[in-house]
Structure 1
Amino acid sequence: MPLPSQPLRRLGFLTIGLFDESDPRAGHESTLNIIELGERLGFDSAWVRHRHFQLGISSPVAVLAAATQRTTRIELGTAVMPLGWENPLRLAEDLATVDILSGGRLNPGMSVGPPTHWEHVKDALYPDTADAEDFGYERVRRLLGFIRGEPASGFRGTEGIEVYSDRVQPHSPGLARRLWYGGAGLRSARWAGENAMNFLTSSVVKAEESEDFAEIQLSHIRAFRAQHPEGERARVSQGLVVIPTDSASAEQRAKYEAYVRARTPRTASPQGPARLMFAPDLVGPSDRIAEQLYAHVAFREVDEVAFALPFTFEHDDYLQILTDLATKLGPALGWSGPAQREGA
C-alpha cells in the first residue's frame, strides 16, 4: 500500500478472549458476541489469540467451531497456535472439521518453539517423550502435509463394514492455502515464504539488523515475499494495536491513553535476551491514526490487517473500538465493507 490512493483491501481484528476464572462462560460468550458484531460491521476477518494456563482462550479451535455456527461470512483465524502444544495429526483433523463447518472460512495461524514454561509443563504434556519432541519447523511441515492430503496412515481399505482412508478426514481442499505462519524474525519470514504459507507479522519483532520497528517489519515482509512462489502477491497480514477514539466517551479516552502511556516505554529499545522490539500502540481519532499508518513503511507494503484489541478492556470498550474501526478508520484507509464491494 504505497499511497493513500491505494485502498486497504481486507480489515480484520484480533482478540485475546479474556474471562473471569470464577465465570469463564461469560468471557467466552463475550468473545463470540464480538465476532458476531464484527460480521455485522463488515469486517473481513476475526482472529483469536491462544493462551495456555492463562485466563484467555486455551482452545481456539473449539471457540471458532462455535463461531462458525453464529456467523456466515466473516473469516475466522488463530493468531497464533503454538504447535509445541499440539499433535499435528490430531490438529489437522480438528482444523479440517472446523473449516468444513465454516464453509471454508478458517485461517489457522501457527508458530513453533517449545511450550512456554517448558520445564514446568513437560511432564504433564509429554510425560514419556519430552526429550524426543521436535519443536522446530518439521512440526509445521507435518501439519501442512496432513492438511494438504498427504498419506498419514499405511492402511487404506475396508475391514468388515468399516472403511478407512490413508489421509486425514474430512479433507478440506482449500484449507492449505489459508494456513498462516506467525513469525518475529527473518528466518521465520523466509521459511514461511519457502513453504508457500501466508505470513502474519505482529506488533512484536526481533531486533536482528536494526532497532527501528517499522524497518525491521518491512525487511521481514520483503524477505517472505522474496522466497514465496507468488512473490509480491503473497499474502501478509499486519497486526498492530490500534485504538480509535472517535465515538469514545471522555472516560474511555482517558483509560485508553493511560493504557498506551504505560506500554510506551517498552517500545524505545530491544527487550530481553531475544531483543524483542514492540510497536508503539496507536490511539486517537481515526484520521490521525490513518496518517500514522501511512507513515509506517511496513504498513505501506500490505493491503490486509488484523488490528489487535487491547488485552484488558471491558466488553463495551471493545464494541466502541470495533465500531470505530469499521465505520471510521477503515474508510479513512480506503477500505469498504463487503456490502459496498458487492454493490460496486
Structure 2
Amino acid sequence: MKKIGFLSFGHWTPSPRSGVKSASDALLQSIDLAVAAEELGADGAYFRVHHFARQLASPFPLLSAIGARTSRIEIGTGVIDMRYENPLYMAEDAGSADLISGGRLQLGISRGSPEQVIRGYEYFGHRPEEGSTDADMARKHTAALLEVLKGEGFAQPNPQPMFPNPPGLLRIEPHAPGLRERIWWGAGSRSTAQWAGEQGMNLMSSTLLTEDTGVPFHQLQAEQIQLFREAWKGAGHAHEPRVSVSRSIFPLVSEFDRQLFGRERASRDQVGHLDYGLARFGKTYAAEPDELVEELAKDEAVAAADTLLITVPNQLGVDYNAQVIENLLRYVAPGLGWR
C-alpha cells in the first residue's frame, strides 16, 4: 500500500483559456478538489506556497477550510519557504489548522525555491544576520518552529494577566499534539536530506534535485532517500519516518487526455542550471495505463517512498483534475499493488 495524494501549485491567470482566472478561483477550487479527491479515495491534498506570484500564498486559511470540509484526507504543504516565516506565529496558525482538521496536517517546509522578487523575505521583515545566508536564516526559523511545536512552556507569564494563567512558563497556543512529528523538509539534495533525517523531519522530495551526478533522476532520488533513512536511524529518533516523492503522471484514458498530454510520451529527464549550479528535473509520465504501470514499476524512488504526490494542472479545473486522480487510482495504482 502507498499513500497517494495530489500537489497543486494553485496557478491562476486572467486568461480566457484558464479555468482559474483569479485568486478567489484558485482558493475555492482548491477546496473543491480536496473534497473530490477524498470522495475518490485519495489520501492527501497538498499545496505549493509562493509569494509575490499568481499562485497560492498563505496556506493556513486554505488548509483550515479544507480541514473543515473533509474528514479523512491528509492536508499539507509542499513547501512553505521558511525564510519568510515568523516561526511562533506560524506555530499558532499551524496548530489551529491541525486542530480544525482533527490532526491531519502534514506540514512541508523548506529553505525555499528561487523567488519571484529579489530578496523577497526582506519585505516580510526578515534579514539574515551578519555573516550568515538566507539558507541559514531559514534553518534558524525552522529550529525555532520545531522547538515550540513540542508544546513546552518557555515564556514568562505576566504576574497581573488579563486572564488567569496555568502554572509555570507559558507555551504557544493552541498546541496541536503530534504535529511536531508531521513536519516534512523539502530537500533538494542528498546533503539536505541527510540533515532532515538528523533533525527528525520527514522527507519531501519533488521532481527537481539541485545536483546532478549523471544517473537517472529516479536513481539519484532513491539514493537521497536511502541517505535520509540512514541519517534518521543514526540519530536514534523514536518514531518511523515518512518519505514522499512528487511525479507528473497522466494516464491517457480519453481522447482529450491524449490531446493534452500525448506529446509527453517522449518526456525525458532534463539537466539545467538553478541557483548557479546544475539541477536535474524528473520526466513527466504520460501513457496508456498498462504502459504507465510498466514504467512506474522501474522508478526506484517511487518504490522507496511511502507517499506519492501527483502534480495536477490546476488551471484545467476541478472536474478534469479529479478525473486525473480517479484514473490513477482506478487504472494504475492496482497494477502496482498500491491499491
- Are 1:295 and 2:322 counterparts? no
Identify the match of residue 336 of structure 2 among 320, 329, 333: 333
Distance 1:108 1:160, change over 3 A: closer
* Aligned positions of 1:83-232 closer than 5 A: 83-113=82-112, 116-117=115-116, 119=118, 121-126=120-125, 130-132=127-129, 134-155=136-157, 159-163=161-165, 166-228=170-232, 229=236
- The CA distance in 2 between the partners of 1:209 and 1:193, in whole Å, is 22
Partner secondary structure for residue 69 of structure 1: helix
- Are 1:18 and 2:11 counterparts? yes
- The CA distance in 2 between the partners of 1:120 and 1:175, in whole Å, is 30
Distance 1:210 1:69, change over 3 A: same
Instruction: State the shift of 1:117 in Å.
Output: 4.8
* Equivalent AA in structure 1 for residue 174 of structure 2: P
* Equivalent AA in structure 1 for residue 246 of structure 2: G
* Equivalent AA in structure 2 for residue 130 of structure 1: R
Instruction: State the shift of 1:162 in Å.
Output: 4.0
Is the Cα–Cα contact under 8 Å of residues 19 and 55 in structure 1 kept in the other structure?
yes
- Are 1:237 and 2:244 counterparts? yes
- Are 1:255 and 2:260 counterparts? yes
Distance 1:136 1:19, change over 3 A: closer
Structure 1 spans left out of the alignment, 5+ residues: 1-7, 337-344
Q: For residue 49 of structure 2, what is the aligned residue in structure 1? A: 50
Instruction: State the shift of 1:15 in Å.
Output: 1.1
Q: For residue 268 of structure 1, what is the aligned residue in structure 2? A: 270
Q: For residue 73 of structure 1, what is the aligned residue in structure 2? A: 72
Where has structure 1 moved over 4 Å in runs of 4 or more? Answer: 230-233
- Are 1:322 and 2:322 counterparts? no
Deviations 1:86-145 (A, max 9, x none): 10110011001110110000000000158725635355222xx53537524222111111
Distance 1:156 1:148, change over 3 A: farther
* Equivalent AA in structure 1 for residue 182 of structure 2: R
- The CA distance in 2 between the partners of 1:23 and 1:300, in whole Å, is 37
- The CA distance in 1 between the partners of 2:162 and 2:119, in whole Å, is 46
Distance 1:159 1:136, change over 3 A: closer
TM-score (norm 1): 0.85
How many residues in Structure 1 have an aligned counterpart in Structure 2?
322
Deviations 1:269-309 (A, max 9, x none): 34342311110000122221121111112222123211111
- Are 1:304 and 2:307 counterparts? yes
* Equivalent AA in structure 1 for residue 299 of structure 2: H
- The CA distance in 2 between the partners of 1:314 and 1:69, in whole Å, is 22
Deviates more, 1:48-57 or 1:114-123: 114-123
TM-score (norm 2): 0.86
* Equivalent AA in structure 2 for residue 245 of structure 1: L
- The CA distance in 1 between the partners of 2:239 and 2:147, in whole Å, is 25
* Equivalent AA in structure 1 for residue 110 of structure 2: S
Structure 2 spans left out of the alignment, 5+ residues: 15-20
* Equivalent AA in structure 1 for residue 145 of structure 2: L
Is the Cα–Cα contact under 8 Å of residues 146 and 168 in structure 1 kept in the other structure?
yes
Deviations 1:212-239 (A, max 9, x none): 2122101110110001136995211111
Distance 1:146 1:114, change over 3 A: farther
* Equivalent AA in structure 2 for residue 239 of structure 1: S
Is the Cα–Cα contact under 8 Å of residues 9 and 335 in structure 1 kept in the other structure?
yes
Instruction: State the shift of 1:158 in Å.
Output: 5.9
Distance 1:190 1:288, change over 3 A: same
Partner secondary structure for residue 306 of structure 1: strand
Instruction: State the shift of 1:209 in Å.
Output: 3.6
Identify the match of residue 287 of structure 2 among 258, 265, 284: 284
Deviates more, 1:29-38 or 1:306-315: 306-315
Instruction: State the shift of 1:159 in Å.
Output: 2.0
Distance 1:208 1:154, change over 3 A: farther
Question: CA RMSD, aligned part only?
Answer: 2.5
- The CA distance in 2 between the partners of 1:81 and 1:149, in whole Å, is 21
Q: For residue 18 of structure 2, what is the aligned residue in structure 1? A: none
